[in-house]
Amino acid sequence: MSTTAEHGPVPRERDRAPKQDRSRATRQRLLEAAVACLAEHGWAGSTVAVVAERAGVSRGAAQHHFPTREDLFTAAVEYVAEERSTALRALFPAGPGDRRAVVAALVDLYTGPLFRAALHLWVAASNEDQLRAPVTELEARVGRETHRIAVELLGADESRPGARETVQGFLDMARGLGLANLLTDDTTRRERVVAQWADLLDTALG
Amino acid sequence: MSTTAEHGPVPRERDRAPKQDRSRATRQRLLEAAVACLAEHGWAGSTVAVVAERAGVSRGAAQHHFPTREDLFTAAVEYVAEERSTALRALFPAGPGDRRAVVAALVDLYTGPLFRAALHLWVAASNEDQLRAPVTELEARVGRETHRIAVELLGADESRPGARETVQGFLDMARGLGLANLLTDDTTRRERVVAQWADLLDTALG
């Protein structure tokens, strides 16, 4: 228990803190609304105005946080990706877990609204010059972090020849499974594929 | 050698055949232009008018062949997918080939303009009601055919437990590798992943 909590913050901090909290909460609402909007309506249907309305925030406040549309949507995908990474690590607090459970949890990263939103952003970036650089950089950053988590939770020893590429190929497979789930519910097929490849990965990683 | 070829077709056939050929050639030019357009400009930038101009065909003629935008683009992706399947089989005329070569050739299906075009169509279909049904059906058809070719060329025995899911997971990986190649040239990483996964597949398929 901190002394500050017992005696209360000094006056100037007390004034500033709630304002910072409100600002952070507004930012968070905008980011979450942006990902949901992208996942549901795609890039063409996702503007700062639509997201501001969905988040219940004025357009001016939205633009204060995110000066451009590109800023808002790349920040949104990054924020949600970080949230997902944190949640994934929390599922396996003791580190490397049962490999089949880890494989299933990693594949789950690619079948929800975050993947759908990221996919819209990637595809839009392939045709829109303003999006290309920030999205390429974002994809690389999120990809490295996901790879790091996968190696850790699968207990893969990357000093062994082929282990790195085994994990990379598995994450590519997870991304492909996400794509296969875009238009139809692919759950039944996916579960069989995941069960089979969890066994193959287990053998390959030793 | 046919008698018809030696003596020439009967007059009415002679009149009709070149017209049919011209019509077929026009259709083909439209389909190829549609895939190129989709790959380069995405769904939002792909209209019948843009494709007709690119193919050097009048807009009226384009609409005669394809009454709607959806007709044109789904037919285009299907046509090019069939061309790719034929080309893939032609690479391995003796049936099952060297597995590493087959794996590399299958992955190549997902790194060119056809995959890029198909991806734009899929993603657009997830937000556009008119596209959703035809694209879902197209994806299922092309997916089944690709699976059939993969099983054949990999010499996979689908009566063995897990063999079917092993091939499916590999094709999901190929799709994921295609996605990873969308914004940057991922060739170097992809080649290492493919080499490793060709070995894993080889072991798994026996």
The chain B residue lying nearest A188, using CA atoms, is B165
CA B100 to chain centre: 21
Judge whether A36 is closer than 8 Å to chain B, CB to CB: no
Residue B5 is predicted with a pLDDT of 44
Show the beta-strand stretches assigned E in B118-196. none
Which residues span the domain enclosing A90? 69-205
Contacts of B5 (CB under 8 A, 6+ apart): none
The CATH number assigned to the domain holding B182 equals 1.10.357
Contacts of B19 (CB under 8 A, 6+ apart): none
Q: Cα distance from B59 to chain A (closest Cα, Å)?
A: 25
**Average pLDDT per run of 10 along chain A, which is 206 residues long?**
45 67 93 95 94 96 95 94 90 88 94 92 92 94 95 95 97 96 95 96 93
Query: How many angstroms separate the Cα of A123 from the Cα of each of A27, B39, B95, B140, B188?
Result: 25, 10, 36, 21, 22
Are the C-beta atoms of B179 and A176 separated by less than 8 Å?
A: yes
Q: Domain count of chain B?
A: 1
Q: List, for residues A82-106, the tens digit of each pLDDT value.
A: 998 999 999 999 888 799 999 999 9
Q: Note whether residue A128 is domain-resident.
A: yes
A173 → closest Cβ in B172, B178, B199:
B172
Q: DSSP of A85-119, one letter per residue?
A: HHHHHHHSTTSS--HHHHHHHHHHTTSSHHHHHHH
A125 → closest Cβ in B165, B183, B197:
B183
Tokens of A167: 């994990």
From chain B residues 78-137, the ones with a CB under 8 A of any chain A CB are 116, 119-120, 122-127, 132, 135-136
Judge whether B197 is closer than 8 Å to chain A, CB to CB: yes
The chain A residue lying nearest B177, using CA atoms, is A172
- Sequence letter at residue B201: L
Task: Mark out the alpha helices in chain A (DSSP H runs).
Answer: 3-7, 11-41, 48-55, 59-65, 69-91, 99-108, 113-125, 129-154, 163-180, 187-205
Q: Note whether residue A78 is domain-resident.
A: yes
**Helix/strand/coil for A128:** coil
pLDDT digit of tens for each residue in chain B (206 aa)? 344 444 445 555 556 678 888 899 999 999 999 999 999 999 989 999 999 999 999 999 999 999 999 999 999 999 989 998 999 999 999 888 789 999 999 999 999 899 999 999 999 999 888 999 999 999 999 999 999 999 999 999 999 999 999 999 999 999 999 999 999 999 999 999 999 999 999 999 98
Q: Note whether residue B44 is domain-resident.
A: no
A200 → closest Cβ in B124, B189, B200:
B200
Residue B94 is predicted with a pLDDT of 87
Residue B10 is predicted with a pLDDT of 52
Residue B178 is predicted with a pLDDT of 96
Sign of CA dihedral B87, B93, B99, B101: negative
Q: Cα distance from B127 to chain A (closest Cα, Å)?
A: 6
Q: Note whether residue B142 is domain-resident.
A: yes
The interface predicted TM-score of the complex, written ipTM, equals 0.88
If phi over 0 gives left and psi between -120 and 50 gives alpha, with beta otherwise, what is residue A177?
alpha
Tokens of A79: 């924020």
Q: Note whether residue B155 is domain-resident.
A: yes
Q: Note whether residue B108 is domain-resident.
A: yes
**Residue B176 φ then ψ, to 5°:** -65, -35
Q: Note whether residue A25 is domain-resident.
A: no
Contact check, Cβ <8 Å, B126/A42: yes
From chain B residues 149-188, the ones with a CB under 8 A of any chain A CB are 162, 165-166, 168-180, 182-184
| Cα A114 from Cα B149, distance rounded (Å) | 32
Q: Note whether residue B183 is domain-resident.
A: yes
